[in-house]
Amino acid sequence: MRAAMTPPDEDVAARRERFLAGIGARPMVMGILNLTPDSFSDGGKFQDLDAALARAARMAADGADIVDVGAESTRPGATPVSAAAELARLEPVLAELVRRVDVPLSIDTYKATVAARAAELGVVAVNDVGGLQRDPAMADVVAQAQVAVVIMHSRPAADAAIDIVADIKRSFARSLAIAARAGIPTRHIMLDPGIAFGKTSRQNREVIARIAELKEFMLPILIGVSRKSFLGSLIDRGLEASLAGTIAANLAAAAGGAAIFRVHDVAEHVAALRVFDTIRAAMVRAG
C-alpha cells in the first residue's frame, strides 16, 4: 500500500521544473553538501546550520544548478546509520536551506522514509544510490511526491571479470521497470553509472570511456567522480583529491555525453564546463 503524501506545492514544482528544463541545454553542476561527520572528503565541516547555509550559498553563487544534501556517508567502509539518525542530522538544516538558498535541492539517500520527509521539506529530487532497488518503498515515495530521481548503479563488491557497462545497463533496465510500475514520469529520471560503487579502478575508467553507450536509455546521465580515490592511480603523486584530475575526468565524461556533474568544487567546474561547451558548440557549427 502506498503511503499518503502531500503533493509538492507550486514553488517546489516550479523549482523542479527549472532544474529539469536546463538539462541538455548546457552542462549542469550539482554541488555536494555533506551533513555528515565521516564523509571521505569533507566530513564534519558542514554539520552546523550556519556552516551548511554558508556552504550552500557559496555554491549557489558559484553557479551550481542544484545542491545535493546528504546526511549519511556512502563511502566504502562507512558505518550505516538509522533513518532516525539520518533525519536528526537533516531536519534542522534542510528546511532552512530550502527557504534561504536560491537553488533547488536534492536529497542524497537510499531510505524511503528519509526521502519522503525531505520531499515534504521542499527538495526537488532524490539521489538514490540504491537505484530504486535497495528500499522497496522508494519508487512509490518518489512518484507520489512528484520529485525527480537519480537512479544510480552500485554493486555490493567489485568483480573485475565482468563487463561493467553491460552490468550497469541490466541494472538500469530493472530500475526503470520499477519506476514505470510506480508511475514515475520518464522526464523526472536521471541515470548515474555509480563511479567507485563496487567497481575496480579499471572499471571506473572504462565507464567514463564508454559513457556514450548509456545514451541508449535516452535519459540524462549524471556523473560523480569528484575527489574519488581511483583518480589517484592516474597521477604520479597519488593525489586522489586533485582538482585537476577531477576536472579532467568530468570533461572526458562530458565529451561522452554526460549532462550533470556532481562535484565538491563548483566554481572551477562551472568555468571548465562553460569553456568546454563553448568550444564544442563551435566545433558543431564548423561541421
> Would you call 187 a catalytic residue per the annotation?
no
Average pLDDT over residues 32-54: 72
Among candidate residues 15, 55, 205, 228, the one labeled active-site is: 228
Q: How is residue 157 annotated by DSSP?
A: S
Q: Report the relative pairing of strands 66-70 and 105-108 from DSSP bridges.
A: parallel
Taking the model in full, what pTM does it have? 0.91
pLDDT band per the 50, 70, 90 thresholds, residue 81: confident
- Rounded to whole angstroms, the Cα distance separating 48 from 235 reads 34
- Report the 10 Å Cβ neighbour count for 166: 11
Q: How is residue 66 annotated by DSSP?
A: E
pLDDT band per the 50, 70, 90 thresholds, residue 228: confident
Average pLDDT over residues 110-115: 97
Among candidate residues 262, 274, 280, 285, the one labeled active-site is: 262
Q: Report the relative pairing of strands 66-70 and 28-34 from DSSP bridges.
A: parallel
Q: What is the pLDDT of residues 185-217, one digit of tens each?
A: 999 999 999 999 999 999 999 999 999 999 999
Q: What percentage of the chain carries pLDDT values higher than 70?
A: 88
Does position 95 have pLDDT exceeding 60, yes or no? yes
> Residue 127 forms beta bridges with which residues?
108, 150
Q: What is residue 37's predicted lDDT score, i.e. its pLDDT?
A: 74
Q: What is residue 4's predicted lDDT score, i.e. its pLDDT?
A: 43
> Would you call 205 a catalytic residue per the annotation?
no
Q: Burial level of 114, CB count in 10 A (0-12/13-18/19+)?
A: buried
Task: List Cα–Cα distances, 256 to 140, 199, 252, in angstroms.
Answer: 32, 19, 7
Q: Where are the domains of the chain?
A: 28-286
Name the average pLDDT for the chain.
90
Selected from 2.40.10.10, 3.10.20.740, 3.40.630.30, 3.20.20.20, the CATH number assigned to the domain covering 28-286 reads 3.20.20.20
pLDDT band per the 50, 70, 90 thresholds, residue 45: low
CA atoms within 13 A on the CB side of 179: 27
Does position 67 have pLDDT exceeding 60, yes or no? yes
**Per-residue cell: 38:** 565521516
Q: What percentage of the chain carries pLDDT values higher than 90?
A: 77
Q: What is the pLDDT of residues 141-193, one digit of tens each?
A: 999 999 999 999 999 999 999 999 999 999 999 999 999 999 999 999 999 99
